Structure 1
């Protein structure tokens, strides 16, 4: 019997969008721990991006970019590869979660959420896949989605719809790229303790101790933390998941479809 494959990213160049904070930063740090040789991260906060890049301990490129800008998004992979070499692991972790129901979501908000949450992953996946196919190299992609992609809350209409599009894109590209040994999987993330969530809670007028109040209401006594999902993302990028593609994993404390 052959040995179990190890969770290792040794020799890999990993690109993580939204890698300057929260889930993306957690995944970037876990990738380094798993042996990734070089890292590229994107984000809008230049100071924060440079600080994270300087702290990772391996050659890291910070690419400031607003993923709502299609032209800026289209330049990301080329910038990463010019500095670090061919990217063979991509994590689409960046996302917007702005509120809005079917009754009050402006078209401009709908368009922005689809641009960041669905179009940007499409642009980056396409660019990476085209380069890997030309080089005849394998690769792996992980899309950070959401449990709301199953339908979502009424106040998250555009967010749920855009992430539902990303869930379908995950399966479609996994099928289209499997002959090239490029794997694509997605993580439907539940309620997580991130800087972005803290900002949303403050914007919604909730008290500063909202997390202390929310944690005891969860089945396991706390919200999901970046470190939790980072381990799964790294596993999916590694050869330990070499036979896995097109999977949408519900990473949550609640079981979809279970009642009572």
Structure 2
């Protein structure tokens, strides 16, 4: 097999939101690249069982951990569970997030706190747990945070969401700088509008979207499609792998619209 095919053969990863959407796409890609040990963190036990069965059929060993990202203790415990099961973890993908709607004037303190608990505090303590483990065992490691192009500003109805992703972008760079001499890398990918089951539910819940919302959205997109999780997964697994070398602190836009460019 080529180096590309097996570039994550030494990767033991924990993936949040790993039972669906971006997280599951990354898990599948990791297995294709040789990864044999996966911890999927999420809320739905049913989805978790299905995802684990699929990944094991593909040749990996996988476990599902049901946890609330808003609970720091649960996040730290998930890392410990993975270490106990596989002996070590050296990779983390923070893919899960809340994308609840709310403008500046609509967002309540409770909505704001929940957004930051899931989108910032959860990833913070998952990274803390993994980095502590890597430092204690003197291992290199790699982390990827899934952000959003909303880091550049965002729509008016995504005020707290955009702020939370901006906070995680800053945290990505802070962590990258702090642990680079320990060979612990931290990068992020910032996707645009994505085609995921979660987005379909969001469109129906918050925007009363018709069943053909995806077809209409893709027809209007510059490249005729929304971001596909299976395509973006390869970028994330590259960032996790040793092939990405010294890459750290990078925030990579993954979209067909160029930030700062107005019109055509």
TM-score normalised by the shorter chain: which range applies? over 0.9
Which of 225, 229, 241 in structure 2 is aligned with 1:238?
241
In 2, are the aligned partners of 1:7 and 1:234 still within 8 Å (CA)?
Answer: no
Give the unaligned 5+ runs of structure 1: none
Q: Which residue of 2 aligns with 1:223?
A: 226
In 2, are the aligned partners of 1:6 and 1:240 still within 8 Å (CA)?
Answer: no
Please give the secondary structure, in 2, of the residue aligned with 1:221.
coil
CA distance in 2, matches of 1:46, 1:110: 27
Give the C-alpha shift of residue 72 in structure 1: 1.5
Give the C-alpha shift of residue 5 in structure 1: 7.5
Per-residue deviation, residues 220-257 of structure 1 (Å, max 9, x unmatched):
10111110110000000011101200000000010111
Q: Which residue of 2 aligns with 1:33?
A: 32
In 1, are the aligned partners of 2:102 and 2:159 still within 8 Å (CA)?
Answer: yes
Give the C-alpha shift of residue 80 in structure 1: 1.1
Per-residue deviation, residues 51-79 of structure 1 (Å, max 9, x unmatched):
10111021101001111122222211001
CA distance in 1, matches of 2:17, 2:126: 13
Question: Pairwise mapping of residues 60-139 of structure 1 onto structure 2 (< 5 A)?
Answer: 60-139=62-141
CA distance in 2, matches of 1:111, 1:13: 32
Give the C-alpha shift of residue 114 in structure 1: 0.5
CA distance in 1, matches of 2:92, 2:54: 20
CA RMSD of aligned residues (A): 1.4
CA distance in 2, matches of 1:131, 1:220: 42
In 2, are the aligned partners of 1:143 and 1:187 still within 8 Å (CA)?
Answer: yes
Please give the secondary structure, in 1, of the residue aligned with 2:227.
coil
Give the C-alpha shift of residue 144 in structure 1: 0.2
Give the C-alpha shift of residue 6 in structure 1: 7.0
Please give the secondary structure, in 2, of the residue aligned with 1:137.
coil
Q: Which residue of 1 aligns with 2:251?
A: 248
Give the C-alpha shift of residue 36 in structure 1: 0.5
CA distance in 2, matches of 1:226, 1:179: 32
Deviates more, 1:184-193 or 1:66-75: 66-75
Which of 202, 206, 209 in structure 2 is aligned with 1:206?
209
Please give the secondary structure, in 2, of the residue aligned with 1:154.
coil
CA distance in 2, matches of 1:170, 1:11: 23
CA distance in 2, matches of 1:63, 1:74: 12
Give the C-alpha shift of residue 4 in structure 1: 8.3
Give the C-alpha shift of residue 259 in structure 1: 2.3
Please give the secondary structure, in 2, of the residue aligned with 1:40.
strand
Give the C-alpha shift of residue 7 in structure 1: 6.2
